[in-house]
Chains A and B, each alone.
Chain A
Amino acid sequence: MRLLVLFAHPRPRQSVVQRAMLASITGLPDITVRDLYAEYPDFLVDARREQALLVEHDLVVLQHPLYWYSSPAIVKEWLDVVLEEGWAYGPGGTRLNGKFLLNALSTGGPSEAYHSKGRNRFAVRQLLAPYDQTAYLCGMGWLEPFVIHAGRKLDVATLTRKAESYRDLLMGLRDGRHDPEKHLAEGYALPRGFTQRQEHTRHAT
């Protein structure tokens, strides 16, 4: 399985967690990493190019910090421009059918804050409802989000360990050690007509 990681951070030099996560997965075979803010500093997202990349991959990872309970702006722009009607959804829009979507996030707050009793009042799973539905509409499988909470307060060893677990997750999915259909987000049912594509399956070594 081939993975496409879309990384989005407007000020990567100021990030700690995202940089660690990015470093852990950069340079791996069959895992394509793209820095959206670097590719499109003027926000002119090239829909054709992005669509071609999507076709070549089986699993899309949206990796970014959680800003205002959502993504940095360019991810929204990317979704708006790339996931066209008749391509990603709607009549004839079946190009993403059978692929998977994974959100890989970092938050400033601790995990307790993302709870009905916490200061942010919603679980991350709830806040990500737009991605849940986006994946569903496009006929994709939506995987359990990968989240690193309160990363700035972690010591270097813990952060490194968490970044490595992120890498293990991606590599496991890539090599078929993890079955993505068994890693679906809690309560997410595959859309009707979902058939996993095999064309890019990487042969286990």
Chain B
Amino acid sequence: MQLDQFLLGAFVYLAAAVIAAPLFARLGLGSVLGYLIAGVVIGPSVLGLAGNDSADVMHFAEFGVIVMLFLVGLELQPAKLWELRKPILGLGTLQVAATAAVIGGVAWLAGHAWEAALVAGLALALSSTAIVVQSLNERGLLKTAAGRSSFAVLLFQDVAVIPMLALLPLLAQQAVAVDDHSLTAGLPAWAHTVAVLGAVAAIMLGGRYLTRPLFRWVAGTGIREIFVAFALLIVVGITLLMQLVGLSAALGTFLAGVVLADSEYRHELEMDLDPFKGLLLAVFFIAVGSGISFALLARMPAMLLGTVAAIIVLKLLVLLPLARAFRMPLADATRFAFSLAQGGEFAFVLVSFALGLKLLGGDEAGLLVAAVAISMAFAPLLMMFDDRVLQRRFAAGGMSRASDRIEADTPEVIIAGHGRFGMTIGRLLQANRVRSVVLDHDAEQIDALRKYGFKIFYGDASRLDLLEAAGAKDAKVLVIAIDDREKTLTLIETARKHFPHLKVFARAFDRVHAYELLGTGINDVYREVFGSSVDMGRDVLTALGRHPFEARRAAVLFKAHDERMTRVSATHQGDTSKLIDTWRKSRAEIANVLASDRGDVATDADPAWSAPDREDA
């Protein structure tokens, strides 16, 4: 491909994305629909800006789906995946089998050959992971009960594609040379099994034991783009490995994501890959939109639109009773059903494969592809209908939405910097079961602390995106204990600007640093060695024979006085003579306070309680 041609294509796609997504997002229709419509507009049927290469583009952009599944996996700890085993196996199997049977049956009754009907049933049983996950995520519904169930079914479908692809050649009457890239194609069944299990084991073990030292090594270099490159390398590498053994790349990267979900580098991976996922998915959706054949629509509009309607209605008819059978409340059941009632990107793969096997006629294949693409364009509208009409009616009717609750695993406290200072705070909070997240950029430190069960993430805490990823939106307190004077100031400013609800506690290195921090307007500033110096001073007083309670009071009084003076002095910064004057007065003042507390100053009686008796003399 020539460079300028590539650049021109990129320009068209990017421009379409930049114009359509904000427009549709502002209209409240969601970015996915925006991309699809933008694809239709630039496609051959309308403006003709995008060439007839949408299939190639889509193939390339499918990598976005793979990255997305990796990111979804990152959000899902192994324990949570295990909780999903029932919906994945039960709900997933039943959904695919029942939908394939119903749609295949209808197609067969409509007069198609049984092989073609079966292919159509299988292809249409699948839904669009890209559209559904992206839309649910955009609306924050992925972690709800309905979102989880939808995701479980999608995950099963992604895996089911593999046996489907294996089944199709068996249906073909004449032997057709199958274009199989996988290395395992010529191997006997047992070797194939071994290769598959080996690949999965490699991902699990590699994710568990290999990535951490590698990450530490990469992090040690301190070069940002190497981190991004490494993250991409993981995903691309797994995709290739999966293709070699003939497994679903989406499944492989999803598994890798799950394995890495417990890793403290999770946020860093998410942040590095998120832009790639977003862009590739946008391109993918635009490609789907531009692939909708309006020629076919013009030729047989009733047939095409009828097929689209049939797909959606039949899928709903299977999904709704299935959800109810799995005891979902009605509100969850409709959300689940309306989320999954569309064709998916894997239908394109299956149909083109079946076409190659001559299982489908050219018109049948064209009709299927167009119908699936149009149903995908309708998907965001269907979900919106459920959201705006059905869910609202359930809510108004007092339907229970209890299962919709989002998990309460957001942290209350974010601790930036987990050195000698932050660590003590972290341990105190941990001992009191306060949910806290630790951010640190020292890979060695992180490795050591992980062993103590801290939820800890690698990264530069002064970066807005890391704060966001750590849950700054829902946290209550930000503890800043990073070992960089300047960065502490930057972080305070970032937090106050973007998360004004966060209560900020900052560690100051010394008095001058404390003045600077107080100057930003926060009040919770702690000089790092001040507290322990006072503690020690108190114990020295006790060791000298001072009564322990008196020593305690002396320390508390001294500390309060000194903190107050620091705040007064902070306002005189730069004015040396005023500063010196303040301190001279302050020294005399604290000496007096302490003397009177000790009783050195002439008071005739016990100051704690004497007033009523004085007149008695």
A11/B599 contact (C-beta < 8 A), A41-B552, A109-B616 known: yes
Chain A positions within 8 Å of B551 at CB level: 41
Q: Is A83 an interface residue (CB 8 A)?
A: no
| CB closest chain-A residue, reference B555 | A41
* B606–A37 CB distance below 8 A: no
Contact among A12, A65, A119, A150 with B612 in the assembled complex (CB-CB below 8 Å): A119
CB distance from A77 to the nearest CB of B (A): 12
| CB closest chain-B residue, reference A120 | B612
Chain B positions within 8 Å of A13 at CB level: 547, 550, 598-599
CB distance from A151 to the nearest CB of B (A): 10
Q: Is A110 an interface residue (CB 8 A)?
A: yes
Scan residues 539-576 of chain B and give those whose CB is less than 8 A from a CB of chain A. 547-552
Q: Is B577 an interface residue (CB 8 A)?
A: no
A67/B608 contact (C-beta < 8 A), A41-B548, A41-B552, A150-B616 known: yes
Chain B 359-387, CB-CB to A under 8 Å as 1, else 0, gives: 00000000000000000000000000000
Chain A positions within 8 Å of B607 at CB level: 11, 14
* B550–A11 CB distance below 8 A: yes
| CB closest chain-B residue, reference A38 | B548
Chain A 6-28, CB-CB to B under 8 Å as 1, else 0, gives: 00001111110000000000000
Contact among A14, A39, A72, A119 with B616 in the assembled complex (CB-CB below 8 Å): A119
* B550–A68 CB distance below 8 A: no
* B617–A153 CB distance below 8 A: yes
A10/B549 contact (C-beta < 8 A), A67-B608, A108-B605 known: yes
Scan residues 595-617 of chain B and give those whose CB is less than 8 A from a CB of chain A. 598-599, 605-610, 612-613, 616-617
Taken together as a complex, chains A and B put the C-alpha atoms of A120 and B616 apart, in Å, by 11
* A12–B547 CB distance below 8 A: yes
Taken together as a complex, chains A and B put the C-alpha atoms of A107 and B551 apart, in Å, by 26
A67/B612 contact (C-beta < 8 A), A11-B550, A13-B599 known: no
A108/B548 contact (C-beta < 8 A), A13-B599, A113-B616, A153-B617 known: no
Chain B positions within 8 Å of A41 at CB level: 548-549, 551-552
| CB closest chain-A residue, reference B550 | A11
Contact among B548, B552, B599 with A14 in the assembled complex (CB-CB below 8 Å): B599
Tally inter-chain residue pairs, CB-CB below 8 A. Answer: 58
Chain B positions within 8 Å of A119 at CB level: 612, 616
Taken together as a complex, chains A and B put the C-alpha atoms of A27 and B529 apart, in Å, by 41
* A108–B599 CB distance below 8 A: no
Taken together as a complex, chains A and B put the C-alpha atoms of A14 and B600 apart, in Å, by 9
| CB closest chain-B residue, reference A17 | B606
* B606–A14 CB distance below 8 A: yes
Residue from the set A11, A67, A68, A150 with the largest chain B CB neighbour count within 10 Å: A11
| CB closest chain-B residue, reference A18 | B606
Taken together as a complex, chains A and B put the C-alpha atoms of A108 and B613 apart, in Å, by 6
Contact among A14, A37, A110 with B549 in the assembled complex (CB-CB below 8 Å): A37
* B613–A109 CB distance below 8 A: yes
* B548–A65 CB distance below 8 A: no
Taken together as a complex, chains A and B put the C-alpha atoms of A52 and B399 apart, in Å, by 58
CB distance from A171 to the nearest CB of B (A): 27
Contact among B547, B609, B617 with A65 in the assembled complex (CB-CB below 8 Å): B609
CB distance from B597 to the nearest CB of A (A): 8
Contact among A37, A108, A113, A153 with B610 in the assembled complex (CB-CB below 8 Å): A108
Q: Is A42 an interface residue (CB 8 A)?
A: yes
A38/B613 contact (C-beta < 8 A), A13-B599, A65-B606, A67-B608 known: no
Contact among B608, B612, B613, B616 with A10 in the assembled complex (CB-CB below 8 Å): B608
Q: Is A183 an interface residue (CB 8 A)?
A: no
Scan residues 101-124 of chain A and give those whose CB is less than 8 A from a CB of chain B. 107-110, 113, 119-120
| CB closest chain-B residue, reference A39 | B548
Chain A positions within 8 Å of B549 at CB level: 10-11, 37-38, 41
CB distance from A154 to the nearest CB of B (A): 12
Taken together as a complex, chains A and B put the C-alpha atoms of A68 and B606 apart, in Å, by 13
CB distance from B605 to the nearest CB of A (A): 7
Scan residues 116-159 of chain B and give those whose CB is less than 8 A from a CB of chain A. none
Chain A positions within 8 Å of B610 at CB level: 108
* A109–B612 CB distance below 8 A: yes
Q: Is A95 an interface residue (CB 8 A)?
A: no
Chain B positions within 8 Å of A12 at CB level: 547
Q: 6 A-B pairs, CB-CB below 8 angstroms?
A: A11-B550, A35-B547, A65-B609, A108-B606, A119-B612, A152-B605
Shortest 8 CB-CB contacts between residues of A and residues of B: A108-B613, A37-B549, A41-B552, A14-B599, A41-B548, A67-B609, A41-B549, A109-B613
